Amino acid sequence: MELITLEGVHKVYSTSEEVQVHALRGINMHIDEGEYVAIMGPSGSGKSTLMHIIGCLDVVTAGKYEIDGVDTEGMSEKQLARIRNAKIGFVFQQFNLLSSMTALRNVELPLVYAGVPVSQRKERAQKALARVGLADRALHRPGQLSGGQQQRVAIARALVTDPALILADEPTGALDSVSTNDILALFDELTEEGKTVVVITHERDVAARAQRTVHLYDGMLQEVNA
Ligand SMILES: Nc1ncnc2c1ncn2[C@@H]1O[C@H](COP(=O)(O)OP(=O)(O)O)[C@@H](O)[C@H]1O
Ligand SMILES: [Mg+2]
C-alpha cells in the first residue's frame, strides 16, 4: 500500500511580485507503507519545502500530493491539521519540547489535540515514554534531560497517536554520536514494527541506515539505490 504519492509537484514562493523562488520543480516520489527513506541534499535544495508538503504544513503550487490515499488538493487549513494529527508524527532538530512541562505532559499534548479522553492520556503517554526507554524520566522537564533524552521524548510525542508516518527533519543534527546511535536504533525498530519513516538529513551515515535515499538538487530528485 502506497502511503505517500507526489506527482509533478512544484512549489513556488512569491516573496514579491517580481521575486519568485521555484523551490520544487516537478517532484515525483512514491513511498510505500513500512518503508524507511532518507532525503538528502545540499542547503537550499528544497528539503524543508518537501518536508512541509509531505507533512501537510504547506501545500503544492502545482501537481498532486496524496497521503494514505487521500488527495490534499483544495484542502482547508483545518482539514490539513486533521491529517497531520491523525497520520503524522513530527521530529525536529531542536526537539521543540515545551520547557515548562514535564516529559509526560509534552508527550500527552498530541492526545489533547486528538480529543483523547483525559482518563486515557496519561497511560498512553507513559507507554510511549517506556517505548523510547524513558519510563523513569516522566516527571523530568526538558532542561533536566540530555539532548539525546529530549529527542527520545520528542519521538515518544511523535508516536503517542500511533501515526502511520514518522517525519523527521535533521533529527540528529543537534546530537553527539552516542545519542545519534540511540535515535537511529529507535528508527530501525519502528520500521521493523511497520511504521513508515522519512528522515531528512545532510549526514551520510544517518542516510545509510535507511532502505533507500533520494537526493534533491535544486528542487529536483535523483534516486540512488543504496
Ligand atoms: N517561505 C519562503 N519564502 C521564500 N523562499 C523560500 C521560503 N522557504 C524556502 N525558500 C527558498 O526555497 C529554496 C529551498 O529552501 P528549503 O526548502 O528551505 O531548502 P533546504 O531545506 O534544502 O535548505 C531556497 O532557495 C529558499 O531560499
Ligand atoms: Mg532545511
What is the residue with the minimal CA distance to atom 14 of ligand 1? Answer: 46
Domain ranges of the chain: 34-59+74-224
Residue 119 has pLDDT above 60, yes or no: yes
CA dist 47 and 63 (Å) reads 17
Residue 89 has pLDDT above 60, yes or no: yes
CA dist 33 and 31 (Å) reads 7
Architecture (CATH level 2) of domain 34-59+74-224: 3-Layer(aba) Sandwich (3.40)
| pLDDT at residue 225 in the model | 54
Whose atoms come closest to the Cα of 45: which ligand?
Answer: 1
| pLDDT at residue 223 in the model | 65
Looking at residues 47-75, what average pLDDT do you find? 96
CA dist 166 and 168 (Å) reads 6
pLDDT above 70: percentage of residues in the chain: 98
User: Comparing C-alpha atoms, which of 36, 147, 20, 34 is closest to residue 92?
Assistant: 147
Q: Separation of 130 CA from ligand 2 center, angstroms?
A: 31
| pTM, two decimal places | 0.93
| H-state helical runs in 116-202 | 118-131, 147-159, 177-192
Q: Separation of 46 CA from ligand 1 center, angstroms?
A: 6
pLDDT tens, residue by residue, 181-222:
999 999 999 999 999 999 999 899 999 999 999 999 999 998
Nearest ligand 1 atom to alpha carbon 216: 22
C-alpha cell at 87: 497520520
Residues with CB under 6 A from ligand 1: 13, 15, 21, 23, 41, 43-49
Q: Taking a C-beta distance cutoff of 8 angstroms, is the pair 61, 8 a contact?
A: no
Q: Taking a C-beta distance cutoff of 8 angstroms, is the pair 30, 64 a contact?
A: no
Q: Which residues surround the ion ligand 2 when the cut-off is CB under 5 Å?
A: 47-48
